[in-house]
Chain A
Amino acid sequence: MGMTITEKIMAFNSGRSSVVPGQLVWANVHTVMTMDYLGKQCFSAFESLSAEKKLFDKERVICVSDHLVPPPTEQFATMLNEWRETVRKYDIPYFYDLGRQGIAHQLMVEQGHVLPGKVSIGTDSHANTYGAVGAMGNAIGVTDAAIAMATGKCWFRVPESVKFVVRGEWQPWVMAKDLSLHIMGMMHWNGHLIYKALEFAGPAIESLGIAGRMTLCNMTVDLGAKNGIIAPDDTTIEFLRPVQKGEWEMLQSDADAHYDAIYEVDVTNVGPTISLPDKLDDVVPVEKLIGTKFNKAFVGTCTNGRTEDFAIMASILKDKQIHRNVNMVCIPASQAVYLECIQKGYFETLIKAGAAIETPSCGPCAGIHTGVAGDGDIILSAGNRNMKGRMGSKNAKIYLTSPAVVAASAIRGEITDPRSENW
């Protein structure tokens, strides 16, 4: 019996030639990531493990300030100072702090800390994003992070795999986010894909760039899945070559690998898609909501804060004005994205159109800062979660969609199909 790519990663990184779903393994971890608000706890737990207090490899413990920077309150400023002191004590070379910051998952991929065929873990749920380059990306808690920091190991139950084969032609203005939300509607939020490894394959996936692949893998956590993964190909190699940190393995699933289920999706039939407030899987095509008014627009996060996302927005908003009743906040996912969007003129276009650009962070997605929701807000967001209170007030409504829909809709101040005009 053949193995899926996830099974191979679990096997080869735990010194085995094969594994089966349900098996428990201790796998070697390539990198372990933690960030500002949980990081100090990870190091404290790590220090309590042995008197030696020795990291397994300080180049493979990645530290990021993303949720709390720049600090909006004294409390967070103090937390950040304690976090910095902790990281400095261990002389961590890859510490992405304010000034060199970004959202952890973006940096892990962008800076080459995640590699095909390897296991990377992080103390934030969207660590599933790492599957975009053929890695096993997994979210874990403080305990697992502390143990991995000391031992370079983490325990895993080998997940059952489910495959999505995506064919057809991407329609104009349709993005990976639309496919992601479409699949959310098919399979349900935290539905029967709980604990599965989700593998995306097929010609419509191969044609996606790394940004789109990251969006797709990122949101698998909200399907309840253990990981999302796309087999590495030439696109992956081209992306990683300039930033690689270590050897990698170009693993692929075997032709006779077992899947609990295989779903076929024709992306030709996927249009711009929106998730209704409060529940991620209440998903409708944009046509159903045309004319719905909103007062805030947000594009950023580990899901949709990349150069490609701002490029499509700039192509829609070029020489246009955002409606006066809409406040738009855009947050690039990293300093590298920020700089590239400045150099390519995307942010000039967005600023001229009336958008506010914030410095890279998780921003209001986790309800912390730079544009949180107040009572009565109706937000059109390209983020990843829309439960009550996610962005601040419980009396705000969050519609989730793609950056293209946010941009087109912001012009009219009401939900608009980006296919309705030749931008």
Chain B
Amino acid sequence: MAIITGKAWVAKNYVMSFDMILQKYWTSPINPAENAKWVMAGVSEEFNRENAFIEAGYTFIIAGHNFAGGGKSIEHCVTGLIGAGIQAVFATSFARLQFRNAINYGLPFITSKDINLSCETGDVLEYDSDSGTIKNLSNGKVFSSVPVAPFVAEVAASGGLMNFIRQKMADGTIHELH
């Protein structure tokens, strides 16, 4: 994956984990297709309907400070976005628990300064994961982003941390991790 293109949804306010996945779904099994059905239901009224976020067809999310904050360890926030077809989230900062979950599932959570101020919902963006450049093809603006750490890229290339560890357990190199 070097360059990906998609349509962005821009969050107006803080996006909190407990709004991304409503309380009644915290005990649901992890399953991207299922978790996606009600993802973002509490973030915006327009998504408070079954399949609403999936049907909206966005493949990027743009947000401000502390995306997915509020201190929930549930992975449904990330699997729900994956199930809804989100390819990457660009935000000025991320909350650590979901940042960690995103890395573990290989979903790019990309930190980019001020990106939330210069994009509109529906804009088409192009992200180059090698250079970290994000281009807004709808208005011509270009943003830089924090490069993806080698470990994070390696996990994503393995198809997530579970696969990364499975390979290391299978080939006997698991004890080399330190």
Contact = CB atoms under 8 A, between A and B. Distances in A.
Contacts of A308: none
A155 B71 contact: no
Nearest to A155: B151
Greatest chain B CB density within 10 A among A76, A123, A139 is at: A139
B61 interface: no
A110 interface: no
Contacts of B75: 141-143
A64 to B, nearest CB: 14
A5 to B, nearest CB: 19
Contacts of A143: 75, 101, 104-105, 160-162
Contacts of B73: 38, 123-125, 139-141
Interface stretch (B2-10, B24-32, B80-88, B126-134): B24-32
Interface string A140-151: 111110110011
B23 A151 contact: no
A48 to B, nearest CB: 7
B178 A387 contact: no
A24 interface: yes
Interface residues of A, number: 44
Interface stretch (B51-59, B114-122, B135-143, B163-171): B163-171
B74 interface: yes
A86 B43 CA distance: 35
Contact of A367 (B23, B93, B94, B174): B23
Interface residues of B, number: 38
Interface in A342-392: 366-367, 385, 387, 389-390
A125 B72 contact: yes
A98 interface: no
A76 B26 CA distance: 12
A151 B165 contact: yes
Interface in A45-61: 45, 48-50
Nearest to B18: A387
B169 A125 contact: no
B1 interface: no
A79 interface: yes
Interface string B44-80: 0000000000000000000001100111111100000
B71 A139 contact: yes
Greatest chain B CB density within 10 A among A221, A224, A367 is at: A224
A144 B165 contact: no
A27 to B, nearest CB: 8
Contacts of A366: 23
Contact of B97 (A49, A125, A147): A125
Contacts of A239: none
Given A37-B26, A143-B162, A190 B69 contact: yes
Contacts of A390: 18
Given A142-B30, A222-B71, A150 B96 contact: no
B95 A79 contact: no
Contacts of B178: 14-16, 25-26
16 contacts: A37-B26, A37-B27, A45-B162, A48-B166, A49-B169, A50-B170, A76-B27, A124-B73, A139-B73, A141-B75, A143-B162, A144-B104, A146-B162, A190-B65, A224-B96, A226-B96
Which 4 residue pairs spanning A and B have beta carbons closest together?
A: A125-B71, A26-B177, A190-B69, A143-B104
